[in-house]
A and B are shown apart, each in its own frame.
Chain A
Amino acid sequence: MNEERSRWFWPALLAGWGLIAIGIVGLFSQRDRTQPFQLVRYVIGFLLVHDLVVAPLVIAAGWLVTRFVPAIARAPLRAALALSALVVAFSWPLLRRYGERATNDSALPLDYGRTVPVVLAVVWAVAVGALGVRVVNDRRHRRRQVGGGSVGP
C-alpha cells in the first residue's frame, strides 16, 4: 500500500480538485434546484451505508459460506448469492412499484414480481449447473488418482 507517487500525482490532484470545485460551485449556483446541503447528506449517507452496513454484511455472508459450506460448492454459491442480492437491490424500486403512474401504464409496464424471479431462477440454474460440473470433474479427478493415472497438467 505504500506505493511510489508518480509525477502525475500533483497535476492530477490540482486538476481533479478543480473539477470538484466546478461541481460544488454549480451545486450552489442552482441551490434552489440542487439543495446542496440536503444533497450532500445523500452522498455521505450512501458512503456510510456502504461502509458500515453493506460491506460488513457481504463479508459476514462470505464468512458464513466459508464456515458452513463444503469447499466444492463455495464459489458457485457465493456467485449466486452475490448476483441475487445485486438483482434484487437493482430491481427494488420496480418490485415496490415506487415510480408507478396512475394515468400512464407504460411506466413500469411489467409484473416485476414475476420477471425478477425469472432472472433469479436463471442465475441459480447456472450456479447449480456449475456446481454439477465441479462435482463431476472432482469425481473424475479422484478416480484418476485412485487408478494411478496422470492428473496433469
Chain B
Amino acid sequence: MNLPGPLLVWRDRALADPRRGDRTAALLGIALGGCFLVCFLTGLLSHLIQHPPAWFEWPSRPAGLYRVTQGVHVATGIAAVPLLFAKLWTVYPRLFQTPAVRDVAHALERLSLVPLIGGALFMLVTGVANIDLWYPWPFFFPAGHYWMAWVTIGALVVHIGAKITVTRTALRRRSGAEVVNTDRRRFLTLAVASSAVLTVATIGQTVAPLRRLALLAPRRPDRGAQGFPVNKSAAEAGVTAAATDPSYRLVVERDGAELVRLSIADLRALPQRSATLPISCVEGWSASKRWTGVAVRDLLAAAGVPEPTAVEVISLEPPGLYSQSVVNGDQAGDRDTLLALDVEGEPLEPDHGAPLRLIGPNRPGVLQTKWVTRVVVR
C-alpha cells in the first residue's frame, strides 16, 4: 500500500525529531513498562486476596499492607496516563513505517501492538473511570480489567523481546553528538511533570496529609458520614430498614446448627476491643479510624468455638458478590479482627455498616462486610 506523499514527508520529518527518536521511546518505554508491571503485580495480588485459591492465605499483618499495595496500584495507574500518551505521541509516526510488514516475525510483532496499545488504553481508561464510579460499558469492571491485564502484560512481554536490542543501543549512546538534546529533555520533563501533577492532585485520597491537594480525586479520606468515605450506602444496598430494626440479631452457626443468637445489648456485654485500622478500598482511597467491637475470636469463644477458625461473614444485603466474605484462620485469630459496633467512640451509622460490621487488619475494603447478621463457622 502506498502512503500519500504529504504523509510520507510528515513521517520522515517527525522521525528525525529527537523527541520521537529511539532514546526517547526507550526511556518512556522503561518508565511505562515499570508502571504496568507494578500495576499488574499489585492487581494480581488484590485478585488473589479477593478470590483466594487453596494454596493462598493472605495474612492479617502488617495491618496496612493492602492499603499500600492498592494505593500504589491506583497511584501508579494514574501516573502512567501521561506517560502512555507521551509514548504514543513519540512512536505514532512509526505506525506509517514502510514496508508495513517485512517478514513473519515482524508481522507477529506488529500484530502484538494491537493488544498492547488497545490493552494499555483499555486498562487506564477503565481504571480511571472505575475510581470515578463511572461504568459506561456492559461488562463487569473487575472481571474485564483483570483478564485484560493478562492480555496487556503478555503483549508487553512480546514488545520487550522485540525492542530489547534497539533499547539497549539507544540507551548506550551516551557519548557523541546526540547526547544532550534540549527538545528531548524538555519533552521527557513534561511527561514526568504531567505524571507528577496527576499524582499530587489525587494521592491525597489515600495519603491523608496531602488530602487538601487532592483536587482531582474522586474521594477524600475526611468526607462522608462520620467523617470518612462510604463505598455503598445503606440505601443503595437496600438495608436501611433491616439495619435499624430493633429485632436485629447476630446468629453464629456451624454446619447449619445455630450456636448462639445475640442482640446488640448481648454483643455490647461481650469483651470490647478497640483497634485503629484503615478502610482500604480497591478504588485506591483509604481512611484510618478507631474501631470498637467484639473480636471475632472472642465471639467464637462465646459461641463455644475455643480455637479461632475460618468463618464466613454474611450481610443483611440481598445475596450478591459482596454480600459476604471469608475471614481465614489467620485473620480470625488476630485480636484486631473485629465485628465493630462503634467508630471513633460513636455507634456506627447505617452507611458504615450499623448495627455491626466486619473490620480486620490488612483486608480490602470490599471484604470488610457491612450490616453483618450471620457468622458461619467453617
Residues of A near any B CB (own CB < 8 A)? 1-6, 8-13, 15-24, 26-27, 30, 33-35, 38-39, 42-44, 46-47, 50-51, 55, 58-59, 75, 79, 82-83, 86-87, 90-91, 93-94, 98-110, 112, 115-116, 118-119, 123
Contact = CB atoms under 8 A, between A and B. Distances in A.
Interface residues of B, number: 85
Nearest to B89: A58
Chain B interface SS verdict (over half): helix
Given A16-B156, A105-B224, A119-B215, A9 B161 contact: yes
Nearest to A115: B215
Interface of B: 10, 15, 78, 81-82, 85, 88-89, 92, 94-95, 97, 102, 105, 108-109, 112, 114-115, 117-119, 121-122, 125-126, 128-129, 132-134, 136-140, 143-144, 146-166, 169, 186, 190, 193-194, 197-198, 201, 215-220, 223-225, 228-230, 232-236, 351
Given A12-B158, A34-B140, A39-B148, A116 B133 contact: no
Nearest to B195: A86
A43 B154 contact: no
Closest 4 CB pairs of A and B: A12-B161, A99-B133, A19-B154, A106-B224
Contacts, number: 229
10 contacts: A9-B162, A12-B164, A16-B157, A16-B158, A19-B150, A20-B112, A22-B154, A43-B121, A47-B121, A86-B85
A30 to B, nearest CB: 5
B216 A99 contact: no
Contacts of A50: 88, 117, 121
Contacts of A43: 115, 118-119, 121-122, 148
Given A12-B158, A43-B122, A110-B220, 15 more contacts: A13-B105, A13-B158, A20-B115, A20-B155, A34-B139, A35-B144, A39-B144, A39-B148, A43-B119, A44-B114, A87-B216, A91-B216, A104-B233, A106-B230, A109-B223
